[in-house]
C-alpha cells in the first residue's frame, strides 16, 4: 500500500536581535542604502548572539511543534543546516536528546542550504510512502550572519538567522506530487565558506567569511529555475495559470521579480515576505508558507509550487496541494 504525505504544522523561530538595513549606513557611509533595499527588498535582518547557535533556534522552533502533537508519535528527524553545532556527531542526534524523543527515532542531517527544505520534504515523502515513517520533523536552521563581515555589502544586508520546524505526516489524499532536482557542482565556489572544515587544515589563505559571487548565482538561478519549473509542470500537465502561488526561495526581490517575468507569471502568483525577514537560507520556504497561511493568502486545496535553489549549486521543486495549517 502506498501512503500519501501532508504538511500538518509549521513553526518558526527568529533570534531576538534585529537590525534595520538603514542603520548600516553609519559604519558604511559609501553604501547606497536606498539602492540596496530596492534590489534586495529587505529592510530588516535578524541575527543571533555570539553564544547562540542554529541548534538553539532549531530547538525552540521544534518545541513549539511539541505543544501541538504527542512527541512519542514522532519517529523521524530530518535536520537541514549549514551551520553545524559540531562536525560530529550529527546535529539531529543532539536535537533528539534535547526534545526527549524516543530512542527508536530515525535522525539524520542534510548539509544543504537554500534547496534543503525541498530535498528534506522529498525524503520525508518517500519515508511515509514506503511506510517506514508516520510522523517526521523537518528542521531547517542556519546562522549565516556568523560568517558575514560588517563591511560586506553583498551579504550583510541580505541574510538573516532563523529556524523552522515542519511536521509531515500521513494523508489519505495525495497532496504532494513529483519532485525534480538538479545539481551543478562546477559552481561550488560561487557561494562558499572556505575555512573551518578539513581542507582548511592544509590550505593557506582560506577565507573565514562567507563569499558569494552574486552575479553568477543570479545567472545560475535564471538559467536553471525556469527550466526546472516548466519541466515539473509539463510532467504533471498543469498550466502555470492553474498554480495559485509560487513559493520560491526568498533570495532577494530582484530574483523573485526576474523569475516572475521569465516565467510570465502574474505578480499575485509569486509570494514575497522578504521585507521584515530577510533571507533565512534553508528556512525561507517554511517561513513563507506559515506567513501566507496566517494571512489567508493560501487556502485549502490551493495548488502551490515550492522551489529552492542556491549554494551547491543545487535546486529542487515540487507541486503540492495545500491544507491549512493546524
Q: What are the residue boundaries of the structural domains of the chain, listed by start? A: 4-175, 177-321
SS3 325: coil
Name the fold adopted by 177-321: Peroxisomal Thiolase; Chain A, domain 1 (3.40.47)
Q: What cell does 144 get?
A: 549565516
CA proximity to 87, closest of 114, 112, 111: 111
CA-based radius of gyration for the chain: 19
CA–CA distance, 29 with 32 (Å, rounded to integer): 8
pLDDT for 205 equals 56
* Active-site hit among 114, 140, 169, 318: 114
pLDDT for 318 equals 96
pTM confidence score = 0.95
Walking along the chain (326 residues) 10 residues at a time, the average pLDDT comes out as 82 97 94 96 97 97 97 97 93 98 98 97 95 96 95 95 97 82 96 74 65 94 97 94 97 97 97 98 98 96 96 96 90
Q: Measured between alpha carbons, how far is residue 225 from residues 81, 91, 104, 305 in Å?
A: 22, 30, 38, 12
pLDDT for 197 equals 65
* Active-site hit among 9, 155, 279, 318: 279
With cell 504525505, the residue in question is 5
279 is catalytic: yes
CA proximity to 124, closest of 162, 159, 78, 164: 78
* Beta strands, E only, the chain: 4-13, 17-20, 44-47, 76-80, 106-110, 135-142, 162-171, 176-183, 191-192, 211-212, 245-248, 303-310, 314-321
* Active-site hit among 155, 249, 273, 318: 249
Tell me whether strands 135-142 and 76-80 are parallel, antiparallel or unpaired.
parallel
pLDDT for 269 equals 97
With cell 511515509, the residue in question is 128
Provide the mean pLDDT of the chain.
94
- What is 245-304 written as a DSSP string? EEEE----HHHHHHHHHHTT--GGGB----TTT-B-GGGHHHHHHHHHHHTTSS-TT-EE
What letter would DSSP give residue 159?
B
pLDDT for 1 equals 47
249 is catalytic: yes
Q: What cell does 193 get?
A: 565558506
CA–CA distance, 262 with 324 (Å, rounded to integer): 29
Q: Measured between alpha carbons, how far is residue 195 from residues 47, 147, 209, 239, 318 in Å?
A: 21, 10, 8, 45, 33
**C-beta separation of 285 from 299 below 8 A:** no
Q: What cell does 54 get?
A: 542554529
Strand partners, 183: 314
Q: What cell does 23 get?
A: 542603520
pLDDT for 175 equals 75
Q: Measured between alpha carbons, how far is residue 229 from residues 40, 67, 75, 292 in Å?
A: 23, 36, 32, 21
Question: In which element (H, E) is residue 55 found?
Answer: helix 54-66
Strand partners, 237: none
CATH number of 4-175: 3.40.47.10
pLDDT for 326 equals 80
Amino acid at each position: 500500500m502506498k501512503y500519501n504525505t501532508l504538511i500538518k504544522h509549521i513553526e518558526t523561530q527568529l533570534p531576538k536581535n534585529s537590525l534595520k538595513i538603514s542603520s548600516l549606513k553609519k559604519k558604511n557611509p559609501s553604501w547606497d542604502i536606498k539602492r540596496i533595499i530596492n534590489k534586495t527588498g529587505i529592510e530588516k535582518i535578524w541575527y543571533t548572539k555570539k553564544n547562540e547557535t542554529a541548534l538553539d533556534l532549531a530547538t525552540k522552533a521544534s518545541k513549539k511543534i511539541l505543544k501541538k502533537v504527542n512527541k512519542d508519535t514522532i519517529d523521524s528527524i530530518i535536520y537541514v543546516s549549514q551551520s553545524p553545532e559540531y562536525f560530529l556527531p550529527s546535529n539531529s542526534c543532539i536535537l533528539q536528546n534535547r526534545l526527549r524523543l524516543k530512542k527508536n527515532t530515525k535522525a539524520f542531517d542534510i548539509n544543504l542550504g537554500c534547496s534543503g527544505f525541498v530535498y528534506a520534504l522529498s525524503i520525508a515523502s518517500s519515508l511515509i510512502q514506503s511506510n517506514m515513517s508516520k510522523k517526521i520533523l523537518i528542521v531547517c536552521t542556519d546562522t549565516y550572519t556568523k560568517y558575514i563581515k560588517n563591511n560586506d555589502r553583498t551579504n550583510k544586508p541580505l541574510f538573516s538567522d532563523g529556524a523552522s520546524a515542519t511536521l509531515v505526516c500521513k494523508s489519505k489524499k495525495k497532496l504532494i506530487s513529483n519532485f525534480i532536482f538538479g545539481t551543478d557542482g562546477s559552481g561550488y565556489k560561487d557561494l562558499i565558506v572556505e575555512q573551518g572544515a578539513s581542507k582548511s587544515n592544509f590550505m593557506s589563505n582560506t577565507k573565514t567569511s562567507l563569499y558569494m559571487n552574486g552575479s553568477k548565482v543570479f545567472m545560475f538561478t535564471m538559467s536553471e529555475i525556469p527550466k526546472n519549473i516548466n519541466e515539473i509542470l509539463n510532467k504533471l500537465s498543469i498550466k502555470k495559470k492553474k498554480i495559485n502561488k509560487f513559493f520560491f526561495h526568498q533570495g532577494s526581490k530582484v530574483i523573485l521579480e526576474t523569475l516572475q517575468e521569465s516565467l510570465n507569471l502574474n505578480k499575485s502568483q509569486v509570494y514575497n515576505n522578504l521585507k521584515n525577514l530577510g533571507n533565512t537560507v534553508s528556512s525561507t520556504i517554511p517561513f513563507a508558507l506559515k506567513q501566507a497561511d496566517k494571512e489567508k493568502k493560501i487556502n485549502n486545496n490551493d495548488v502551490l509550487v515550492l522551489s529552492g535553489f542556491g549554494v551547491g549549486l543545487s535546486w529542487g521543486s515540487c507541486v503540492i496541494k495545500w491544507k491549512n495549517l493546524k
